[in-house]
Amino acid sequence: MTLNPRSPFTPYPRGWYMACLASELPVGAVLPLHYFGREIVAFRTEDGAPHVVDAHCPHLGSHLGHGGTVEGNCIRCPFHGWQFEGETGRCVRIPYAEKVPPNARARVWPVREIDGNVLVYFHEKGALPDWEVTPIPVEEGDWSPWQETRWKIKACIQDVSENDVDNAHLPNLHQFTAHAPEGTLEAKGPVLELRLQLETNLESLGMSGVAKGPLNTTKWGLSIGYIAHFLDLGGIQISTRTLGHTIPIDEHYVDVRLFHSIRRTPFEHVNEQLEAQYFKIFKATVEQDIVIWENKLHLARPLLCEGDGPIAAFRKWARQFYSEDEVARAMAQ
């Protein structure tokens, strides 16, 4: 396997990853994708279920995502019409042959549909998932529609994920806070919860002064993160939420898809200002990070100081998404 020369770890940690939005995969749709350094295909069968399989037909190697069609609960190869079940990958029909070879099947990926996202599970040896992603918390109130920002970034997935717990970089690189926030980090198996008290410079939202409030992050593996931020301005309560997905494209690039929403206040002019400013600031903040990610090394043995505490805890938690051999190899370099 080819590695990113700027990281000693595999670019493909184990875990759940976003394949696409559910809305991007209506019934009958066939969607070619390139993730994990390979070609895969997502499709939705007539029973409404999403599926993901390896892209190339085991017969003569044609790409199921380019010209393939959904037939009932199968995907039909565009070249010779072989039909593969979405659930099992088993070939159930060859239009010009009575007998189907017993080993004729497409490799099926574990799939879940959660919160309007179609997720696939990656394991370097094809093992089945041993944990699940839970739905994001239900937030009360009138929320704006999710708005997406998306980047293709030359970066290591762990650097992108680790950024959420790197409190010390917030006042140094970004402008929305003047102090590194204090907080707690709690690992619950493959789920990580970070609870911070963030002092926000309200100038970044087009207002004056500062306000302090909780910023809570939940991470499912190294790919999926949900951030909820709350500010009380004394009469006006501001709540924002972001759902983030980072998916490795190949050994060099990741696909970052962020979805943002704000809870509407009773004041429409405030809503318009908040929506415009929040999306603008979040995009600018990520693009400041991108400059760092695209030019840094991922050091397996970083030189940390006392104020970097959450990073050490995060690193310990993150090791579960790599094989023991992978961790030993990376740490030995």
Model confidence at 200, pLDDT cuts 50, 70, 90, reads confident
Mean pLDDT of 28-52: 98
Q: What is the CATH number of the domain that holds 104?
A: 2.102.10.10
CA–CA separation, 309 and 39 (whole Å): 39
More confidently predicted of 239 and 139: 239
Show which of 107, 122, 137 is a domain's final residue.
122
pLDDT of 113 reads 98
Q: Is the same domain home to 79 and 225?
A: no
Identify the pLDDT of residue 1.
61
Work out the pLDDT band at 204, boundaries 50, 70, 90: low
Please indicate whether residue 258 or residue 176 has the higher confidence score (pLDDT): 258
Beta strands in 10-124 (DSSP E): 15-21, 30-35, 38-44, 50-54, 69-71, 74-76, 83-85, 91-93, 108-109, 111-114, 117-122
- Domain boundary (122, 138, 170) is at 122
Domain that holds residue 204: 147-319
- Give the global pTM: 0.94
State whether 160 and 257 are in the same domain: yes
Same domain, 164 and 223: yes
Which pLDDT score, from 0 to 100, does residue 205 have? 65
Model pLDDT, residue 77: 98
Do 227 and 164 form a contact (C-beta atoms < 8 A)?
yes
At residue 271, the pLDDT reads 85
Angle at 304 between CA 154 and CA 187, to 5 degrees: 80
Flag whether 48 is in a domain: yes
Q: Are residues 274 and 191 in the same domain?
A: yes
All residues at 6 or more sequence positions from 88 whose CB lies less than 8 Å from its CB, including other chains: 105, 108
Buried b (16+ CB within 10 A) or exposed e, 29-53: ebbebebbeebbbbbbbeeeebbbb
Q: Which of 166, 168, 172, 170 is nearest to 185 (CA)?
A: 166
193 and 306 part of one domain: yes
Return the pLDDT at 186: 96
**Sequential DSSP letters for 119-143:** EEEE-TT-PPPSS-PPPPPPPPS-B
Give Rg (Cα) of the chain: 22
For residue 5, is it within any domain? no
Going by C-alpha positions, the residue among 242, 222, 276 that lies closest to residue 9 is 222
Q: What is the mean pLDDT of the chain?
A: 93
The confidence band for 111, taking pLDDT boundaries of 50, 70 and 90, is very high
The whole-number average pLDDT for the span 39-48 is 98
Q: Is residue 214 part of a domain?
A: yes
Which pLDDT belongs to residue 16? 98
**pLDDT tens per residue across span 296-320:** 999 999 999 988 879 999 999 999 9
| End-to-end Cα spacing for the chain | 16
pLDDT at 206 over 70: no
Q: What is the mean pLDDT of residues 188-195?
A: 97
Same domain, 112 and 154: no
Query: Residue 183's pLDDT is what?
Result: 85
Mean pLDDT of 160-185: 87
Residue 52 β-bridge partners: 42, 109
Confidence of residue 237 (pLDDT cuts 50, 70, 90): confident
Domain count, the chain: 2
Residues 118 and 236 in one domain: no
Residue 282 has pLDDT above 80, yes or no: yes
pLDDT for 211 equals 80
Q: Rounded CA gap, 35 and 17, in Å? A: 10
- 219-236 pLDDT, tens digit each: 999 999 999 999 887 777
Which of residues 6 and 178 earns the better pLDDT score?
A: 6
Note whether residue 326 is domain-resident: no
- Res 270: pLDDT: 80
Residues 89 and 189 in one domain: no
Assess contact for 156 and 253: CB atoms under 8 A: no
109 and 231 assigned to the same domain: no
- Residues above pLDDT 70, as percent of the chain: 98
Q: How far apart are CA 17 and CA 20, in angstroms?
A: 9
Q: Is residue 104 part of a domain?
A: yes
Residue 132: inside a domain: no
What average pLDDT does this structure show over 68-86?
Answer: 98
* Domain CATH number, residue 272: 3.90.380.10
Domain contains 46 = yes
Q: Determine whether 127 is exposed, middle or buried from the number of CB atoms within 10 Å of its CB (0-12, 13-18, 19+).
A: exposed
pLDDT score of 141? 87
pLDDT of 178 higher than 80: no
